[in-house]
């Protein structure tokens, strides 16, 4: 049994869906919200298993991203989508856990909600294929970004020194900059590489660091 929240600016949708879902075996509680502000307030006060969002809601895509980033335990199911693959993919990338089209029945909706609560996604084979291809594309883009990150010349110098095991103080001395400046550069390098620890710079960029030393040998560690 799950706690559900219906979000729609159309009252008849909220009331009709709430009545239908309360009669199902899926939900032990169904509440409704008519605005995004009301929804966020509700989520901050109450644990929700699944949120059913009317895609006709203003800024639905950005709202889904906000919910998925801040309420990770709440599954988002979008309803009222067209059969457009591009639209479905856009909502999938925003973070939905399920979707139902404009032509879906209440039974279809309940089935998708049940799957979302269990962590399952029900979708047509062509959409599943498109999702897999998109995941592959994103993985390729991530690898390319790690191999050729968008570092400034100064950040490349810092990355080299991090790879050589230099501390922030040693980096500052080597580059003739202040320690706070060196620390800021280190944070930027870590952020751009998606690294949380200094040693990850080398593990993520073993080839890129070697290929981007601007023709210089590694700096000598200050004494």
Q: For residues 94 and 180, state if they share a domain.
A: no
Q: How many domains is the chain built from? A: 2
Mean pLDDT of successive 10-residue segments in the chain (223 residues)? Answer: 93 92 89 92 95 89 91 93 86 90 90 90 74 71 62 88 90 93 92 82 62 46 54
Distances (CA, A) of 57 to 13, 42, 89, 93, 190: 12, 17, 18, 18, 38
Give the pLDDT score at 146. Answer: 58
Q: For residues 76 and 160, state if they share a domain.
A: no
Give the pLDDT score at 153. Answer: 87
102 located within any domain: yes
CATH number for the domain harbouring residue 33: 3.40.50.2300
Give CA–CA dist 74/5, Å, rounded: 10
Give the pLDDT score at 130. Answer: 72
162 located within any domain: yes
Q: For residues 162 and 110, state if they share a domain.
A: no
Residue-number span of the structural domain to which 34 is assigned: 2-124
134 located within any domain: no
Give the pLDDT score at 32. Answer: 94
């Amino acid at each position: 049994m799950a706690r559900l929240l219906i979000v729609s600016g159309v009252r008849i949708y909220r009331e009709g869906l709430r009545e239908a879902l309360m009669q199902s075996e899926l939900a032990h509680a169904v509440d409704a919200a008519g605005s995004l502000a009301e929804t966020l307030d509700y989520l901050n006060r109450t644990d929700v298993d699944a949120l059913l969002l009317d895609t006709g809601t203003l800024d639905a895509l950005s709202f889904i991203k906000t919910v998925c980033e801040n309420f990770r335990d709440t599954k988002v199911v979008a309803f009222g989508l067209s059969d457009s693959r591009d639209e479905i993919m856009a909502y999938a990338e925003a973070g939905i856990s399920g979707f139902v089209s404009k032509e879906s029945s209440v039974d279809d909706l309940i089935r998708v909600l049940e799957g979302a609560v269990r962590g399952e996604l029900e979708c047509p084979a062509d959409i599943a294929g498109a999702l897999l291809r998109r995941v592959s594309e994103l993985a390729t883009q991530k690898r390319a970004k790690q191999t050729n990150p968008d570092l400034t010349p100064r950040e490349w110098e810092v990355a080299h020194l991090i790879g050589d095991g230099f501390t922030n103080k040693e980096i500052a001395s080597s580059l003739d900059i202040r320690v706070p400046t060196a620390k800021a550069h280190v944070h930027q390098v870590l952020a751009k590489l998606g690294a949380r620890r200094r040693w990850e710079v080398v593990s993520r960029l073993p080839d890129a660091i070697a290929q981007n030393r601007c023709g210089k040998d590694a700096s000598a560690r200050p004494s």
